A and B are shown apart, each in its own frame.
Chain A
Amino acid sequence: DAGITQSPRHKVTETGTPVTLRCHQTENHRYMYWYRQDPGHGLRLIHYSYGVKDTDKGEVSDGYSVSRSKTEDFLLTLESATSSQTSVYFCAISVKETQYFGPGTRLLVL
């Protein structure tokens, strides 16, 4: 257990509304990541962070922004949710070369 929690675990929202997902870790790991999981695509990196206020884009970052004001929290924001952002979102931390995952957030955009 890497001490990672995600909230909310489930969310239903409407197209055009902003949505924020939270990832919280308890062990002061430097690196944190947001992925989305879709059938046939595995996990795709949205954004990652390598320290407080230090973030960078992944391969599918369009329509998403992130913030990290504290070591323990990494927020993912969908600025204006679209149906294509319906997915399962996973947060992860890395310990050296290995990543450890949170339980996921299932998001449905209607």
Chain B
Amino acid sequence: AQSVTQLGSHVSVSEGALVLLRCNYSSSVPPYLFWYVQYPNQGLQLLLKYTSAATLVKGINGFEAEFKKSETSFHLTKPSAHMSDAAEYFCAVSGGNTGGFKTIFGAGTRLFVKA
């Protein structure tokens, strides 16, 4: 079965430091990959998505992610963290062998940003 693993349920960085949130997926065929962000008491908002057009995907708020097929990874990065980046981040995969339109979500990583 398709799965998504996010390494680290909590990540803490200082303001201005690099943000790195890790995501690995299992798929036997090229999937669609996503990162969503959830701010407190809100729904999930699409941050960026990979659809095979380019391996480095740029998203909103300065985030980007790189698709590495050989490592089955789709890690999320941002060069310099801002206090407003504090939120929960979800990696997700659809297509491939997830069952067409179904999307599988990771357990989430909560990002803390220290002043």
- Residues in chain A near residue B51, CB distance under 8 A: 97
**Assembly CA distance A44 to B94 (angstroms):** 13
Q: Count residues of A near B (Cβ-Cβ below 8 Å).
A: 20
C-alpha gap A99/B36 in the complex (Å):
10
Residue in B9, B32, B42, B101 whose beta carbon sits within 8 Å of that of A103 in the complex: B42
Instruction: A98-B32, A100-B46 given; name 4 further pairs at CB < 8 Å.
Output: A43-B90, A45-B102, A99-B92, A101-B43
With CB as the reference atom, state the residue of chain B lying closest to A58. Answer: B102
Q: Which residues of B contact A (CB under 8 A)?
A: 4, 9, 32, 34, 36, 41-46, 49, 51, 90, 92, 94-95, 101-103, 105-108
Say whether A74 faces chain B, with CB atoms less than 8 Å apart. Answer: no
Query: Hey, which bits of chain A sit against chain B, CB under 8 A?
Result: 31, 40-45, 48, 50, 58, 90, 94, 97-104
Smallest CB separation, A63 vs chain B (Å): 20
- Min CB gap B70→A, angstroms: 23
Contacts of A31 in B (CB 8 A): 101
CB of B91, distance to nearest CB on chain A (Å): 9
User: Are the C-beta atoms of A42 and B101 separated by less than 8 Å?
Assistant: no
